[in-house]
Amino acid sequence: MGRWGVLIAAVLAALAAFAAPSAARADSAAVTRCSAAVPDRADPGKWLAAGPRWTCPADFSALSHNAHAVRFRWDGQAGGEAPVMLVSRTAAFESLTIFTRAATGDWQAKTHRFSDIRPTYLERSFAVPLPELGPGADEIVVVVAAPTQAIPLDYMRLASEAPGASQADFAALLLIALVCGLILTPLLFDFVFYRVLREPFILWHGVFVICIALQLTLTAGLFIPFTDMSLGTLRFMTVASFGAMVVASMMFIASFVEKDMLGPRMRRLLLAGAALEIAVTLLHAQGLTVFGPWPARIFYGAGIPAAAIIVAAVYQAWRRGSRYVRYVIIGLTPLFLVAMARVVSFLLPGIPTADFNALFHAGVLIEAIATALGVASRFVQLKRERDEARSEAHTLENLAGQDPLTGLFNRRAIEPRFGELYKAGYETIALIDLDHFKRVNDTLGHAKGDEVLRAAAKAMKTEPHTLAARIGGEEFMLLLQGEDGLERAEHARRAITARVASEVAGLDGPVTASMGVVCVPQGTLPRARFADLSAMADKLLYEAKEQGRNRYRFEKLRGFEPRKRERRRRAA
């Protein structure tokens, strides 16, 4: 199907989520809404008895820190079911008081503290039961003390059933739960990817996915069957998870885009934007009503520079030819539009606040799938680059320790590891030098000399417990395991003459070799050094050449430990 086919499928699924029925139903035709500002939130009943002036339809563009009232008039003759509860969306306030007028004209009040109200399903809603309406009761007034945002006022309505009770709401909950499950699926891949390739963008993508899933769970109320959460806790977790989602997205971009596609200044700007978002999120999440609407305004206002930083980073990566920024663009564009719509509706006066939850559900699905594909594609590329780098390093390491002409080890490969080899039982060292090799090069040419060297190397690579190395020119070294090291070294020395004669044509005569062999049994020299032992073997090789060549000289070192009894006897 391909990665872009998957993205198209994600877009279609997201559009289906966008088209799903929303829980924010309009008020019944039998209900009218008006609003008014309450000057004294300590005693709203006295203000209500004095006969306030109402603004119809309701308008909350001039939100104050004091108290606001919403009046509902119920026309029982218009048909429809009588309302039984008050429904709205969550934002911090001190208390909510419901006033109902009895048939006698007296007002009755029921106050609900913000910390005592419990959330309900869909779109961060809460529902408060209405007092029983007596005969002739046609007016309900709700006073919200110290609201920090206009959301509870804008979305306040009377309802005949709680959100989530209808079949349409149930279908919407199922769809959101499905989207939440699809979003969490990439976490499994992130876990596997991070075990293989410990890159920070994989962790940030996991944090981003968790924040999105938490947002869906909190806003839809999917947690309600499993835990009893207050509105204050719900609001804190919703704000905190949304801020963390913005921070994770900025950190993800900074670590996900190729290193040469974002400049150092842009990466520092993304880090600064993330730090700013953490600060304003902590301020707003506390829900401190003493500061009025200012924490919320600062929180939403900080979204403007954060969005500008993200757009600038994405644009820079796109201009520089990034292969992976397209996944970020596809994934973040719907969420970016939702965030900007929320900021505009909150900051601009005269526009009702809106959170565009349906579009948010669609956007998170597109984002989760797009970034998951981007992470997988980036992971494959980085893993391929790492494997190629390891292979190249391994090749260079082998080349550095290998003689290119003969394929044997060289001195660089043997000397640093000699201590390990000696402890592993390589106790016999033999230095072999081809006799009169210079005459072969001078009379037959260097090409023929190279053939002789390659044939000699083959003669020395036949033993299973023998390491052969070309030390330089026509000189070779053998490291041998076992007690028969001398016999095997001598066998290799004699095999050189036969192997060269059978493989190299045009020689004037046989190619012989001289050898110096030193055997150092374990424990004889606990701190045996390569330079010392090779110097001893070289001395023996020189003696073999002095005695007529085509022979070997051998020496076995022995350790002499004084006898303890003799030493004690002499001491006595």
Q: 239-251: per-residue pLDDT in tens? A: 999 899 889 989 9
Q: Distance (Å, rounded) from C-alpha 196 to C-alpha 251? A: 21
pLDDT at 12 over 60: no
Q: Distance (Å, rounded) from C-alpha 149 to C-alpha 287? A: 10
Report pLDDT digits (tens) over 505-560: 888 889 999 999 999 988 777 777 888 889 999 999 999 999 999 999 999 887 54
Q: What is the mean pLDDT of residues 106-114?
A: 87
Question: Which segment of 10-19, 30-39, 45-54 scores lowest on mean pLDDT?
Answer: 10-19
DSSP 290: G
pLDDT at 55 over 80: yes
Extract the tokens encoding 60.
């909350």
What's the longest Cα–Cα distance across the chain? Answer: 136
- Whole-model pTM: value is 0.62
Contacts of 88 (CB under 8 A, 6+ apart): 125, 126, 151, 152, 153, 155, 156, 157
Choose among 131, 135, 97, 134: nearest CA to 116: 97
Q: What residues does 35 pair with on adjacent strands?
A: 55, 70
> Which domains are seen in the chain, by residue range?
31-159 (2.60.40.2380), 185-388 (no CATH), 409-556 (3.30.70.270)
Angstrom CA distances, 24 to 59, 162, 276, 353, stand at 18, 11, 33, 13
Q: What was the pLDDT predicted at 559? A: 59
Q: What is the mean pLDDT of residues 330-336?
A: 79
pLDDT band at 144 (very low <50, low <70, confident <90, very high): very high
Q: Distance (Å, rounded) from C-alpha 543 to C-alpha 536? A: 11
Q: What is the mean pLDDT of the chain?
A: 81
Between 46 and 396, residue with greater pLDDT: 46
Q: What is the mean pLDDT of residues 71-85?
A: 71
Q: What was the pLDDT predicted at 11? A: 45
Query: HSE-up of 464 (CA within 13 Å, CB side)?
Result: 0
HEC per residue, 459-500 = HHCCCCCEEEEEEECCEEEEEEECCCHHHHHHHHHHHHHHHH
Angstrom CA distances, 537 to 183, 547, 555, 559, stand at 70, 15, 9, 18
Angstrom CA distances, 329 to 168, 189, 380, 427, 430, stand at 33, 21, 20, 65, 67
Question: Which segment of 101-105, 215-219, 334-338, 450-454 scores lowest on mean pLDDT?
Answer: 101-105
Between 397 and 130, residue with greater pLDDT: 130
Q: Cβ(320)–Cβ(261) under 8 Å?
A: yes
Helices (H) and strands (E) in the chain, counts: 19, 14
Q: Distance (Å, rounded) from C-alpha 391 to C-alpha 384? A: 10
Position 454, amino acid: R
Most confident of 352-356, 463-467, 482-486, 549-553: 549-553
Percent of the chain's residues with pLDDT above 70: 85
SS3 60: coil
Q: What residues does 37 pair with on adjacent strands?
A: 68
Q: Distance (Å, rounded) from C-alpha 224 to C-alpha 218? A: 9
DSSP 402: B
Contacts of 182 (CB under 8 A, 6+ apart): 13, 365, 368, 369
Q: What is the dihedral of CA 287, 291, 296, 299, to 10 degrees?
A: -100
Q: What was the pLDDT predicted at 23? A: 37
Q: What was the pLDDT predicted at 107? A: 80
Q: Distance (Å, rounded) from C-alpha 263 to C-alpha 270? A: 11
Q: Are strands 139-145 and 67-74 parallel, antiparallel or unpaired?
A: antiparallel
Pairs from 337-343 (Cβ < 8 Å, separation ≥ 24): 337/363, 338/363, 339/246, 339/303, 339/307, 340/303, 340/307, 342/300, 342/303, 343/300, 343/301, 343/303, 343/304
Q: What is the mean pLDDT of residues 258-280?
A: 91
Q: Cβ(479)–Cβ(426) under 8 Å?
A: yes
pLDDT band at 483 (very low <50, low <70, confident <90, very high): confident
Q: Are strands 426-434 and 475-481 parallel, antiparallel or unpaired?
A: antiparallel
HEC per residue, 175-218 = HHHHHHHHHHCHHHHHHHHHHHCCCHHHHHHHHHHHHHHHHHHH
Report pLDDT digits (tens) over 221-239: 899 989 888 888 888 999 9
Question: Which segment of 83-92, 353-362, 440-449 scores lowest on mean pLDDT?
Answer: 353-362
Q: What is the mean pLDDT of residues 287-304?
A: 83
SS3 436: coil
Q: Distance (Å, rounded) from C-alpha 184 to C-alpha 132? A: 44
